[in-house]
């Protein structure tokens, strides 16, 4: 289930085209879409920090530390709009790629945000599913927020 958040503002809070504006009672409001995000990260500290930030931004989050946990959530009735997945999971260099393919097979409208501390090769990039993007590690919360807004129109930017 998606919800919208309206922020009263006179200037864009994100990259051009990342929001839609409406006029209401003479004021300008910016609309930001919140999402249900499944975070798949085997490093607990990274997973907890991403989860905390995304919840603070108004998103619903689910998290998994293993491919098996992630697949169980994908196969459940839980709504998932975006899979945020590390490319290397449980020492499998392509674990995140494999998981994303299975997840998109089960949920064709699923968007995917990949992340990795390893260099991204052209071969790996070619294996990305449609409706996907990449953010390198380490990333800041601002970089994560900007990527979600620019690539998927998900999130809010409160100042």
* pLDDT tens-digit readout, 15-49: 333 333 333 333 333 445 799 999 999 999 999 99
- Residues in Cβ contact with 41 at an 8 Å cutoff, skipping those fewer than 6 apart: 47, 50, 63, 65, 84, 85, 86, 89, 115
Closest CA to 87 of 122, 120, 132, 130: 120
> For residues 4 and 21, what is the distance between their CA atoms, to the nearest angstrom?
12
pLDDT at residue 33, as a whole number:
75
Task: With beta carbons less than 8 A apart as the criterion, state whether 114 and 144 touch.
Answer: no
pLDDT at residue 14, as a whole number:
33
How much is the pTM?
0.79
Q: List pLDDT tens digits, range 42-87.
A: 999 999 999 999 999 999 999 999 999 999 999 999 999 999 999 9
The CATH homologous superfamily to which domain 34-152 belongs is: Response regulator (3.40.50.2300)
């Amino acid at each position: 289930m998606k919800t919208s958040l309206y922020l009263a503002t006179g200037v864009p809070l994100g990259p051009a085209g990342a929001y839609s504006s409406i006029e209401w009672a003479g004021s300008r409001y910016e609309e930001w879409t919140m999402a249900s995000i499944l975070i798949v990260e085997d490093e607990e500290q990274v997973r907890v920090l991403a989860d905390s930030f995304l919840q603070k931004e108004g998103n619903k989050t689910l998290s998994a530390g293993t491919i098996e946990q992630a697949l169980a959530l994908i196969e459940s009735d839980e709504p998932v709009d975006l899979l945020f997945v590390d490319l290397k999971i449980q020492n499998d260099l392509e674990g995140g790629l494999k998981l994303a393919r299975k997840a998109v097979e089960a949920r064709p409208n699923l968007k995917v945000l990949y992340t990795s501390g390893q260099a991204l090769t052209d071969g790996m990039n070619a294996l990305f599913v449609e409706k996907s993007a990449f953010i390198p590690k380490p990333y800041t919360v601002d970089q994560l927020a900007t990527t979600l807004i620019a690539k998927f129109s998900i999130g809010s930017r409160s100042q």
